[in-house]
Amino acid sequence: MPPASRVAPFSATLIAAAALLLLPTASLEAQPAFEWPDHPKNLHVLPKQIPKEQLRGIMTGFAKSLGVRCNYCHVGEEGKPLSTFDFPSDAKPQKRVAREMYRMVGHIHKDLKKMPLIGSTRVNLWCQTCHHGRPRPMTLSEEMVVTYAAFGIDSALGTYRDLRHRFYGRAAYDFGEGELIDFASTLSEKGKQDEAIQVLRLNVEQNPQSLRALGELAKAYEAAGQKDRAAETYRKMLEIDPQNRNVQRLLDALQGTK
C-alpha cells in the first residue's frame, strides 16, 4: 500500500477533477477580452471623442510609467475581469490626482516650447521621466524618511534593501552614497546619532571603496565619541588612497600625533 503522503495528492486531484465536471460549462470558457469603449464616459482632460486605440495607449502608458494596474486609479478588484470595473467613477483620489498631473504635463510642455532651443532636439516630459515605475516619484532619502517616521530605523533600512533589489539599474532611485548620507544627516539633526551610524555603516557596506561614504562614517563615529572606530575607518580610507593628506591629518589629530 502506498504511503499516505502519496495518496493525498492523488485524491485531491480526483476531487478537483470531479468538481470541475460539476461546474456549468460557461464558467469553464475563457473570459471575453475587454473591449475599450467607443464613447468613454466622464472624461475631463482627455478629448471627449478620443479614439479607443489612443485611449488604450494612454492608459497603458500610465500603468507602465507608475508600475501599477488599473485598480490603482479605478474602482475594481484586482484579479477580476476589467468588464466588472467602474471606470467612470471618481471615487478614488488617485484618479483625480492623475487628471491634475496630466494637466501639469501639458503646461510644462507649453513652457518648454517657449524656451530657447539648445541643440537640435527639445527636452520632453512624460510620466516616465519622473516616475520610473513608481506611483510616487520620491527620492530614496525621502522614501526612507517616510518609512522611518512610521516604523523606525529597522524598517527604513529594510526599505532601502527592498528598493535596491527591485529598482537597481532602472534609474528609479539614486543608489549612490549621497542618498544614504542625506538620510543619515536627517537623523543626526533629530539627535538620532546611533541610528545615523547604522545608516552610514550600510552605506559603506554598499559602497566599500567610496572615500565619501567612509569619511562620513568616520566623522559620525568621532562625533559619537567612538574614536577607535573612527581611527579604524580613517585607516581604511588610507588603504584606498595612501597619499590622501587630508585623511592622514584627520587620523593624526584623532590620535593626538603631529
Q: pLDDT tens-digit profile of 17-45?
A: 334 434 444 443 455 678 899 999 999 99
Same domain for 156 and 129?
no
- Structural contact between residues 70 and 63, judged by C-beta atoms closer than 8 angstroms: yes
What pLDDT does 119 receive?
A: 86
Residues 131-169 pLDDT 10s = 999 999 999 999 999 999 999 999 999 999 999 999 998
What pLDDT does 6 receive?
A: 37
Is 14 within the bounds of a domain?
no
Same domain for 158 and 184?
yes
* Cβ neighbours around 158 below 10 Å, total: 13
Is 146 within the bounds of a domain?
yes
Same domain for 103 and 203?
no
Is 27 within the bounds of a domain?
no
Is 239 within the bounds of a domain?
yes
What pLDDT does 32 receive?
A: 62
**What stretches of 77-176 show up as alpha helix (H) in DSSP?**
93-114, 127-131, 140-151, 153-167
Same domain for 97 and 163?
no
Is 15 within the bounds of a domain?
no
Is 188 within the bounds of a domain?
yes
Same domain for 133 and 146?
no
Same domain for 159 and 220?
yes
What pLDDT does 30 receive?
A: 53
Q: Which residues of the chain have pLDDT under 50?
A: 1-29, 258
- Structural contact between residues 214 and 236, judged by C-beta atoms closer than 8 angstroms: yes
Same domain for 147 and 215?
yes
pTM (2 decimals)? 0.74
Element (H, E) at 255: helix 245-255
Domain of residue 49, residue span: 33-118+125-137
Same domain for 186 and 129?
no
Query: What is the number of structural domains in the chain?
Result: 2
